[in-house]
Amino acid sequence: MSVKTLSINGNEIAVEEGATVLQAAKEAGVRIPTLCHLDGVSDVGACRLCLVEIEGMNKLLPACVTQVWEGMKIQTDTPKLHEYRRMTVEMLFVEGNHVCAVCVANGNCELQDLAIEMGMDHARFPYRFPERDVDISHDRFGIDHNRCVLCTRCVRVCDEIEGAHVWDVAFRGAAAKVVTGLNQPWGTVSACTSCGKCVEACPTGAIFRKGVTVAEMDRDRTKLDFLVTAREQHKWTR
């Protein structure tokens, strides 16, 4: 098995060939912020929060989809990256309708956690206040598009773990959104197995269980980890 030697923040490490920068950083105990990444499903580099500086490159690269190479020199914690990450979080807030005080995921939201981590106490950009709908046609779950950040975790977990492919992304630009079926009400999509994996995968309060109110949303990420491990190692008991 081939091994690549590289440095992260000045510390040399060795990782398997084919590993991503994000995987290498995790092995080295270095935290890189992410929002669209979810262990067990493919990475798409959608959120741009995991951007890193690499010596010799004239642009920032997403750690989750950039494979390591021999002699790579990576910086994950610089003033430039801090500014880019905070700006990204601010833009996620202003392009949607994120009102934490009345959200079911208040206190258990990855976007909220990132805003705190980035030191965001206000947004420097004008809020867009888009008109977005809420779909509660499903008998157990609902989706509030006002809180969606288009991370596509729901799309990937439904496709790659459950195998139902209920979710997808439709339209372009500011009109882009996740849809169920062929842009049908969720409750009418017969392919949905009501497994709830999309609820567990969602980093915000966009996909929620019916009946929960402000700050009551709770998720068990270990369910997804268990399924991935079970399929890889053929162990079906916890």
Residues 123, 157: Cα–Cα separation, whole Å: 31
In degrees rounded to 5, what are phi and psi of residue 167? -95, 150
The percentage of the chain sitting over the pLDDT mark of 90, rounded to a whole number, equals: 85
Q: Which CATH number fits domain 3-77: 3.30.70.360, 3.40.50.300, 3.40.50.460, 3.10.20.740?
A: 3.10.20.740
Q: Which CATH number fits domain 83-233: 3.30.70.20, 3.90.1170.50, 3.30.950.10, 1.20.1290.10?
A: 3.30.70.20
Q: What average pLDDT score do residues 32-54 get?
A: 96
The residues of the chain that CATH labels 3.10.20.740 are: 3-77
Q: What is the pLDDT of residues 104-129, one digit of tens each?
A: 999 999 999 999 999 999 999 999 99
The residues of the chain that CATH labels 3.30.70.20 are: 83-233
Q: What is the pLDDT of residues 70-112, one digit of tens each?
A: 999 999 999 999 999 999 999 999 999 999 999 999 999 999 9
| pLDDT for 92 | 96
The one-letter code for the residue type at 79 is P
pTM of the full predicted structure? Answer: 0.91
